[in-house]
Amino acid sequence: MTTFLTNGRLPDGTRVDIGVDDSGRIESLGPAQGGTADLDLEGWLVLPALGEPHAHLDKALTADLIPNPRGDLGGAIAAWAEAAATFSEEDIISRASRALDRLLVNGATAVRTHVNCSGEFGARAVTAMIEVRDRYTDLVDLQLVALPSRPLTGEDGRDNRRSLEAAITAGFDVVGGAPHLDPDGEVATRYCLDVAREARLPLDLHTDETLDPEVSLLSYLARLVIDTNFDLDVTASHCVSHGMQPESVQGDVARLAAEAGIAVVTLPQTNLFLQSRTKRVATPRGLPGIQALRDAGVIVAAGADNLQDPFNTVGRGDPLETATLMVMAAHLTPDEALETVSTNVRQALGLARAGTLVGSHADLLVIDSPTIRSAVADGPGSRKVVRGGRMVAETRTHSVIHR
Residues making contact with Zn ion (CB under 5 A): 305
**Nearest to Zn ion of 47, 307 (CB atom):** 307
Taking the complex as a whole, how short is the minimal distance between the CB of residue 271 and Zn ion, in angstroms?
Answer: 10
- At closest approach, how far in Å is the CB of 363 from Zn ion? 24
How near is the Cβ of 269 to Zn ion at its closest, in Å? 11
Q: Closest CB to Zn ion among 182 and 305?
A: 305
Which stretches does DSSP call E strand in 13-136? 15-20, 26-31, 39-40, 45-48, 50-55, 108-116
Residue 41 near residue 22, CB atoms below 8 Å: no
Indicate the residue among 305 and 321 with the shorter CB distance to Zn ion: 305
Task: Considering the complex, state which of residue 106 and residue 269 has its C-beta at the smaller distance from Zn ion.
Answer: 269
Distance of closest approach, residue 237 Cβ to Zn ion, in angstroms: 6
In the complex, residue closest to Zn ion by CB: 305
| Shorter beta-carbon distance to Zn ion: residue 300 or 364 | 300
Chain-centroid distance of CA 371 in Å reads: 24
Residue number with CB closer to Zn ion (57 or 372): 57
In sequence order, which residues have a C-beta less than 8 Å from that of residue 389 and are 6 or more positions away? 3, 5, 20, 21, 24, 38, 362
Compare residues 305 and 309 and give the one whose CB is closer to Zn ion: 305
Q: How far is the CB of 306 from Zn ion (least distance, A)?
A: 7
Q: How far is the CB of 238 from Zn ion (least distance, A)?
A: 7
Distance separating alpha carbons of residues 4 and 33, to the nearest angstrom: 11
User: How many Cβ atoms sit within 10 Å of the Cβ of residue 185?
Assistant: 24
The DSSP code sequence of 155-216 is GGGHHHHHHHHHHHHHT-SEEEE-GGGSSSHHHHHHHHHHHHHHHT--EEEEE--SS-TT--
Taking the C-alpha atoms of residue 223 and residue 253, their distance in angstroms, rounded to an integer, is 10
Distance from C-alpha of 292 to C-alpha of 246, rounded to nearest angstrom: 11
Contact residues for 305 (Cβ-Cβ < 8 A; gap 6+): 54, 55, 56, 267, 269, 270, 271, 311, 312
Tell me whether residue 3 or residue 189 sits nearer to Zn ion (CB atom): 189
**What's the min distance (Å) between Cβ of 204 and Zn ion?**
9
**At 248, which helix (H) or strand (E)?**
helix 247-260
| CB of 66 vs Zn ion, minimal distance in Å | 16
